[in-house]
Amino acid sequence: MENLNVTPWEVSGELNDAAYSKLVEKFGVDLINDNLLNRIKKIAKGKLHPLLSRNVFFAHRELNLILDDYENGKPFYLYTGRGPSGKMHIGHLLPFTFTLWLQRVFNVDLVIQLTDDEKFLIGGKQKSEIEKFTNENILDIISLGFDPKKTHIIGDYKSAKTLYYYATDVARHITVSTIKAVFGVNDSDNIGKVFFPSMQIVPAFLLSAVSKKKMRCLIPYAIDQDPYFRVARDVLPKLGYYKPSAIISKFLPALQGNSAKMSSSKEESAIFLDDSREQVRKKLMKYAFSGGRDTLEEQRKYGANPDVDFAFLEYSFLEEDQNNVEKIYQDYKSGRILSGEMKVIAAEKISDFLEKLRTNREELKDKVSEYLFDPEKLSV
């Protein structure tokens, strides 16, 4: 745990329960308790998204104030994002399914930022490559079913004028020593890294700024992104806005079982959106980290550990009916279902999900512009 290091640009060390407890303490976030879950459940008419009920979204910052505002009929909005550094795989899309669920439950506006500039400054990729991924990633994200009237996708290069204008307000309140301490930037890093965080902070008040209505903002992200929003919470009150609230997740497991940031570089490292049914099944069979036992006999006798099993976890994140999930959980844990059978169940669920996305994606190819940030379109 000594070498645990979690920043938006580097995640190293093993991310187990103890590591998350340490991050919660170090970053100063709060755990989501039953009281908050019950409040959300009530608003969502008795249902919770699997990523919430399975404690993947596990921490928050002032989520209670968002719920207070909602219950008092005051507007708020959502903000999340993606760094377009490669093809998106299923693990990248799951956090967006959660944001979509929040958008539908609360019926609110959502800003999605694509930090192409971040990926240029930090990842060392060519601009042409990043541009290609930006366009592809936007299509992947909207294929999940976001409402074009309430969804505002903002690319940093494309909307640089608007973002830069407000980023300078932010930058004026951040010192180089803060950036060094919070992001682990050092003297040999390029200066873009020092300024970039101002760009990612802007959407946390953008809708309040352009609509001239002071509103709270709720930001879903995995805990690696927290440094941006810790700094945002210091700066925004100085600009006359609310501190942003956050709903924070653990890292989702990767296909082969480690839970560090998921890579898009190798085909066998993840399940991609364009994988066929056959490829999904093969990848699960061949590579998926299993919580099963070594032999059939042991598996029948002692059962599996579903909590670390990639196939079970993916199935549980995509299956809306919690009764089904509970049944499969018990059957797998007790040895009634074997690892191979679990993989078949998960493969079907994943392939159905991907197939729907691919159909939507085709239909949306010419409609991307309807989703792009346009101040005129704001209904807030």
For binding to ligand TYM (CB under 6 A), which residues are involved?
Answer: 8, 79-83, 91, 95, 113, 115, 118, 200, 219, 221-222, 224-225, 249, 251-252, 261-262
Can you tell me the distance from the alpha carbon of 118 to that of 107, in angstroms, rounded to the nearest whole number? 30
Give one DSSP letter per residue of 79-103, joined into a string. Answer: EEEE--SS--BHHHHHHHHHHHHHH
Closest to ligand TYM by CB, 81 or 303 = 81
Closest to ligand TYM by CB, 109 or 224 = 224
User: From the centroid of its chain, how far is CA 20?
Assistant: 17
Can you tell me the distance from the alpha carbon of 341 to that of 322, in angstroms, rounded to the nearest whole number? 19
Closest to ligand TYM by CB, 50 or 95 = 95
- The least CB distance from residue 281 to ligand TYM, in Å, is 23
Closest to ligand TYM by CB, 24 or 344 = 24
Eight-state DSSP code of residue 295: S
Q: Residue 171: helix, strand or coil by DSSP?
A: helix
List of residues 6+ apart from 151 with CB closer than 8 A: 103, 109, 110, 112, 142, 371
- The least CB distance from residue 365 to ligand TYM, in Å, is 22
- The least CB distance from residue 305 to ligand TYM, in Å, is 20
| Closest to 308 (Cα-Cα) out of 273, 327, 333 | 333
- The least CB distance from residue 249 to ligand TYM, in Å, is 6
- The least CB distance from residue 296 to ligand TYM, in Å, is 32
Closest to ligand TYM by CB, 57 or 335 = 57
Token digits for 56? 């993947």
Closest to ligand TYM by CB, 45 or 266 = 266
**Measured at the alpha carbon of residue 24, what is the angle toward residues 257 and 35, in degrees to the nearest 5?**
100
- The least CB distance from residue 334 to ligand TYM, in Å, is 29
Token digits for 78? 């959502």
- The least CB distance from residue 218 to ligand TYM, in Å, is 11
Counting Cα atoms < 13 Å in the Cβ hemisphere of 253 gives 22
Closest to ligand TYM by CB, 61 or 82 = 82
Q: Are 242 and 236 in contact, with CB atoms under 8 Å apart?
A: yes
- The least CB distance from residue 204 to ligand TYM, in Å, is 8
Counting Cα atoms < 13 Å in the Cβ hemisphere of 29 gives 31
Closest to ligand TYM by CB, 258 or 330 = 258
Tokens 């953008």 -> residue: 206
